[in-house]
Amino acid sequence: MAGTRDSEEIAGIRAAVRALCERFPGEYWRELDRERAYPAEFVAALTEAGFLAALIPEEYGGSGLTISSAVAIMEEIHAAGCNGAACHAQMYVMGTVLRHGNADQKQRYLPKIATGELRLQAFGVTEPTSGTDTLALRTTAVRDGNDSYVINGQKIWTSRAEYSDLMLLLGRTTPREQVKKRTEGLSVFLVDMKAAGESLKINPIRTMMNHATTEVFFDDLRVPAENLVGEEGQGFRYILSGMNAERILIAAECVGDCKWFIERASKYARERSVFGRPIGQNQGIQFPIARAYAQMRAAELMVHEAASLYEQGKDCGAEANMAKMLAADASWAAADMCVQTHGGFGFAEEFDIERKFRETRLYSVAPISTNLILSYLAEHVLGLPRSY
């Protein structure tokens, strides 16, 4: 199922990603899933092929591609039955450094991120007590003289922390009651996780899918002041500015998942014969597949709309959020349809459907849950009163 509006360049990217993914079939993912192991070979192959450096400008060693190209990459990975969650953040977390870092930080980090020598794919925002209410986070970064900040606190759901050299961390530099605007007082740091020693502890969290997520504890972790990104106190704004890219790319993954589920279901419905005819001849089987296809196409259009606005430098907050919500809804509906179409075999590990079903469920909750997207649309697009 190719994209409907692909340029020649994007069609070429899709073909290259497909070819790479063929080296990582269902058995590869099943084995990792059983062990909850990291897909190191898959990530290395994507890195080597340069796909994870798609959004890094050429002057820093990346390929300087558009977000539409990055969308094609993530979508194809998922449409091939693979999972980009192990490394998708390597593609977009660096955006905060690119947009808000100083010249020295960009020179120091971006070329190495582009080659994969440095992995910046841990994103420390969520905390156990604050949840979605990011402004209530409690991790503190206290300035100690001119040279450093001292960080104390805890993050949760910090994915890929064990497989990252750097973490982009959001911490409070000014107590909440001392800031003029409620969105101020938080700052972003690049934390060198390998140099942190005993001051940083990582505990893996086992989840329903293979996701390498963790909780992270900071105990008097000293971070050089030069690792502050942008201006002290403005970190919340910087984090928000990176979220549109994240949402568009995760939405693309969901569209890819939809395509995988729809293709699998259609094939099975054509081939499986019960009562002497293909099950796909029954409208009770056809219609859910057709509905999933229509939902996928609608979500795909919204992903393209958001990507197009993003590329033109226009505000795409509403579209990026809607793309993520519609695509996550569509992939979950397609997952459910695919299980139903396969009957008992939908539950068998060797069909990969139950694994993809578990994997795609995440995206209605993370990186932002459906309710929070709806409340964003209600307040910022429809002018309804703020509810929280």
Ligand X SMILES: Cc1cc2nc3c(=O)[nH]c(=O)nc-3n(C[C@H](O)[C@H](O)[C@H](O)COP(=O)(O)OP(=O)(O)OC[C@H]3O[C@@H](n4cnc5c(N)ncnc54)[C@H](O)[C@@H]3O)c2cc1C
Q: Which residues bind ligand X (CB under 6 A)?
A: 123-126, 131-132, 157-159, 207, 211, 213, 362, 365-369, 371-372, 375, 387-388
Instruction: Decide whether 282 or 371 has the Cβ nearer to ligand X.
Output: 371
Instruction: Decide whether 365 or 381 has the Cβ nearer to ligand X.
Output: 365
Nearest-approach distance from CB 355 to ligand X, in angstroms: 15
Instruction: Decide whether 72 or 250 has the Cβ nearer to ligand X.
Output: 250
According to DSSP, residue 365 is labeled T
Instruction: Report the distance separating Cα 174 and Cα 142, nearest Å.
Output: 8
Nearest-approach distance from CB 368 to ligand X, in angstroms: 5
Instruction: Decide whether 10 or 250 has the Cβ nearer to ligand X.
Output: 250
> Are residues 233 and 185 in contact, defined by beta-carbon separation less than 8 angstroms?
yes
Nearest-approach distance from CB 78 to ligand X, in angstroms: 16
Instruction: Decide whether 297 or 361 has the Cβ nearer to ligand X.
Output: 361
> Are residues 87 and 121 in contact, defined by beta-carbon separation less than 8 angstroms?
yes
Task: Find where tokens 């086992």 sit.
Answer: 206
As to burial, measured by CB atoms within 10 angstroms (0-12 exposed, 13-18 middle, 19+ buried), residue 286 is middle
How many residues can be counted in the chain? 388
Q: Which residue's C-beta sits nearest to ligand X?
A: 131
> Are residues 362 and 211 in contact, defined by beta-carbon separation less than 8 angstroms?
yes
Nearest-approach distance from CB 139 to ligand X, in angstroms: 11
Tokens of 343: 């009957």
Instruction: Decide whether 68 or 158 has the Cβ nearer to ligand X.
Output: 158
> Are residues 158 and 123 in contact, defined by beta-carbon separation less than 8 angstroms?
yes
Instruction: Report the distance separating Cα 28 and Cα 35, nearest Å.
Output: 11
Nearest-approach distance from CB 196 to ligand X, in angstroms: 17
Nearest-approach distance from CB 214 to ligand X, in angstroms: 9
